[in-house]
Amino acid sequence: MQGTEKEKVLECYQRQKDTVYKLAWMYCKKKDRADDIFQEVFYKYLAYQPKFKDPEHEKAWFIRTTINLCKNLLRSKWQKDILQLEEWDGDHAPVQENRDAFAELKEAVLNLPDKYRVPIHLYYYEEYSVREIAALLHKSESTIQTQLQRGREKIRQMIEKGRSE
């Protein structure tokens, strides 16, 4: 790999590493699995050297590749048999003044079904618009809006239920 190519790869890595890791973690819910997906995504990037039209195309490629690899991993019989939600080890937890509220919200988001959790993550954490999420997930904008609305409602219900117990 030439010097300028190596620099371009490192710059791309710096731009995309947080997005890829957070998304892999949101899907897999386990640090070791997220680490594996993270490595596989960047291996694919290095192996295929895709050409991107613009930064949005680059980010979309990384998100789509991460989601596809996560789905493949979670579909496997082995993963279905052993998949369990573990406590977040805090290595990648954002700093929050109110850690209890953050932990409660995080738990609620992680307990959402994928069809709500992924749009919520892309919308609130990656700051994608409804239109962009619809394109990334190959769904209509109205479907994404409905999933966001239902996801928020489910989060609210989970938090209220947790507080009343």
Say yes or no to pLDDT of 17 above 60: yes
Cβ-Cβ contacts under 8 Å for 34 (sequence gap 6 or more): 21, 24, 25, 27, 28
Decide if 81 contacts 115 (C-beta within 8 A).
no
Q: Which of 70, 56, 53 is nearest to 16 (CA)?
A: 56
Residues of the chain with pLDDT > 90: what percent? 40
- The full set of domain ranges for the chain reads 1-82, 97-165
> CATH code for 97-165?
1.10.10.10
pTM of model > 0.85: no
Mean pLDDT value across residues 126-151: 91
Question: Tens of pLDDT along 49-82?
Answer: 898 999 999 999 999 999 999 888 877 644 554 4
Q: Using CB atoms within 10 A of its CB, is residue 43 exposed (0-12), middle (13-18) or buried (19+)?
A: exposed
Using the predicted structure, report yes or no on whether residue 8 has a pLDDT greater than 90: no
Q: Which residues contact 105 (CB under 8 A, 6 or more apart)?
A: 155, 159
159 sits in which H/E element: helix 141-164
Q: Contact at 8 Å (CB) between 38 and 20?
A: yes
pLDDT in tens, 88-134: 444 444 444 456 667 778 888 888 998 999 998 888 877 788 998 99
At 119, the amino acid letter reads P
